[in-house]
């Protein structure tokens, strides 16, 4: 297995869909269809019924290609506030968690009703992060499973 730390998440492991190669500078890892993997991780985080961690919040922001400043503007907050959420210095408010999930769903081409998203996550309890494993199928799609 390979710990996919390039995502900025310490709890993502790849079972397949990667290969190790030797280069003149040492070993490197090539992840196949990385965009599809990042989409699978994003979809999993969005659907997971617990408060996003700062790293998960950052991951979803990055999936959408937003800077902290741009996301802050969309949420009516300053860059420093978003930075503090992502670093874990300040807790992420439930409303910001939900809005980010909705924005990311829309970015990914999904259009669930906001009321459905709120109902699916009525209370987002703090929970310790746990590890996720991802496996690439022969058709190139990625699937997650809790470790």
Give all domains of the chain, ordered by start, each with its CATH number. 33-124 (1.10.260.40)
Compute the distance between CA of residue 4 and CA of residue 16 in angstroms, rounded to an integer.
Answer: 11
CB of 104 closer than 8 Å to CB of 60: yes
pLDDT at position 142 is 87
Give backbone dihedrals phi and psi of 74, rounded to 5 degrees, phi first. Answer: -65, -30
pTM of the model as a whole: 0.75
Gap between the Cα atoms of 147 and 130, Å rounded: 8
How much is the pLDDT for 112?
62
Question: Strand 2-3 relative to strand 12-14: parallel, antiparallel, unpaired?
Answer: antiparallel
Q: How far is CA 3 from CA 6, 14, 16, 42, 76, in A?
A: 9, 6, 11, 17, 35
Structural contact between residues 79 and 61, judged by C-beta atoms closer than 8 angstroms: no
Question: Of the candidates 18, 9, 46, 35, which has an alpha carbon nearest to the alpha carbon of residue 132?
Answer: 9
Report strand pairing: 132-136 vs 12-14: parallel
Q: Which two tokens stand for residue 110?
A: 């999904």
Average pLDDT in the 123-141 region?
A: 75
Q: How far apart are the first and last CA of the chain?
A: 12
Question: pLDDT at position 115, please?
Answer: 56
* Average pLDDT of the segment spanning 15-43: 94
Lookup result for tokens 């470790």: 147
């Amino acid at each position: 297995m390979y710990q996919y730390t390039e995502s900025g998440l310490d709890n993502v492991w790849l079972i397949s869909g990667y290969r190790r190669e030797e280069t003149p500078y040492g070993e490197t890892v090539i992840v196949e269809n990385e965009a599809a993997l990042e989409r699978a991780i994003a979809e999993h985080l969005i659907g997971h019924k617990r408060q996003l961690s700062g790293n998960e919040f950052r991951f979803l922001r990055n999936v959408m290609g937003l800077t902290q400043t741009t996301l802050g503007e969309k949420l009516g907050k300053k860059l420093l506030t978003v930075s503090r959420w992502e670093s874990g210095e300040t807790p992420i408010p439930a409303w910001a968690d939900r809005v980010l999930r909705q924005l990311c769903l829309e970015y990914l081409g999904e259009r669930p009703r906001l009321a459905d998203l709120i109902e699916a996550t009525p209370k987002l309890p703090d929970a310790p992060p746990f590890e996720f494993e991802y496996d690439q199928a022969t058709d190139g799609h990625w699937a997650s499973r809790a470790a």
